[in-house]
Every structure is written in structure tokens, then in C-alpha cells.
Chains A and B, each alone.
Chain A
């Protein structure tokens, strides 16, 4: 049981390039989230999904797109990378919204944009 797996773990991009970050969970969780973490800061929510085929904007959605075509996968895309998107990206999931549950996190993708 791997939990939440993020690929790749590290990536360096040039400004203007595009890429997709993959988050996969094997816990049959309904809700999934993408966050970014910048030095000395907590996590900020980019986008989230409350089920297969659904997506919604979080606190800092600009410059990112997401898709949830399969329940177990949540993809985060950068269409035209900018240096301001240099960050550590974390994916998380929970089973449902019943009664408050802890989020399960992956180990992050460290992305540098030159």
C-alpha cells in the first residue's frame, strides 16, 4: 500500500516550458488536493477535486490547470512555466468529507524554473 505517490520528485524547467505533475493514490479516496509550499511558508491550495471528473479552484490557481479523469489520479499542469512557480508541490487526499478527516500527503515534487 503506497498511499500517495507523486512523480517526478525533482524537475528543472526553462521559462515557458510546460509539464505535468502526477499524483496517484491507492486508497480509493474521493477528494484530492494540490498545494504549493514556498520557503518559510505553509501550504497554499492550488486546485482540488471532490471526485472523478470534478475540479475546483483553490487559493492560488492562476497559471495551473488540473484534471481528474480517473479517481486514483490527479494531474497538475503548468502550460507556460514562470520563475514564480518555482516551489515544492504537494498532493494530498482524503476519503470523504464526512466528519473531518486527516489529509494524506505525498512526499512532494521539487520544481525549479530558470
Chain B
């Protein structure tokens, strides 16, 4: 079963606006990761936040993690048309062998020029 659930399923914004995507999960985790997938391509890692961290930044990306609510959010500031892609959260559940990740169903982001 899918550990992560993402909200919204689809998001359409104008260039320059901020985009926020949310992820909820069910079990305790070691870390949570966000990936981007452009159409017809593989997933590309964006950012990793560990369970003892609350916020992390990377360029125009800001990720927050609330382990008490079992939720995370990804904020993309000053969006560009090139940010159009699907975004997935992935969790590394505690006690899972092999460094396996469980992926959410993704948010399809469309940035209109």
C-alpha cells in the first residue's frame, strides 16, 4: 500500500507564483525525500529531510516536516515554466531493510508562462 498521499493531485499556476505541495504518511520514518519527474523521464532527486529536521532549503525549494502530524510540504518559490513536472514524496519507513522507499501518488504541477 502507498505510504504517502499527496495533495493536491494537480496544481496549475502562473509563472512567478509559488507552488505548495503536501504529503502525508502513515508510519514512523527515517527520512522523507522529494523527487521530480518530467514527462517521459525518470525521477530526479530534489531534497532529503531527516526525521529530526523540521525545515530544509535548497535554492528555490523549501521543505518542511512535521513528524507529529506525519506530514511534509514542498514549496517552490518564483515558479518557472521549466518547473512543470510531477512531484513525488517518498518515505523511508523506520525498520525497513534495504533502504527501501515508499512513494506517494504525486502532484502534477503545471506552470503557465
Cβ-neighbour of B99 out of A41, A90, A100, A106 (below 8 A): A100
Closest to B9 in A: A40
Q: Verify if A74 is at the interface (C-beta below 8 Å from B).
A: no
Cross-chain contact of B30 among A31, A35, A100, A107 (Cβ < 8 A):
A100
CB distance from B82 to the nearest CB of A (A): 18
Task: Report whether B31 and A42 are in contact in the complex, using a CB–CB cutoff of 8 Å.
Answer: no
The answer to whether B106 and A42 have CB atoms under 8 Å apart is yes
Max chain B Cβ within 10 angstroms of own Cβ: one of A31, A44, A50, A105 = A105
Kindly provide the distance from the CB of A33 to the nearest chain B CB, expressed in whole angstroms: 7
Whether B2 sits at the interface, judged by CB under 8 Å, is yes
Measured between beta carbons, the chain B residues less than 8 angstroms from A107 are 40-42
B residues whose Cβ falls under 8 Å from a Cβ of A: 2, 4, 30-31, 33, 40-45, 48, 50, 88, 90, 92, 97-106
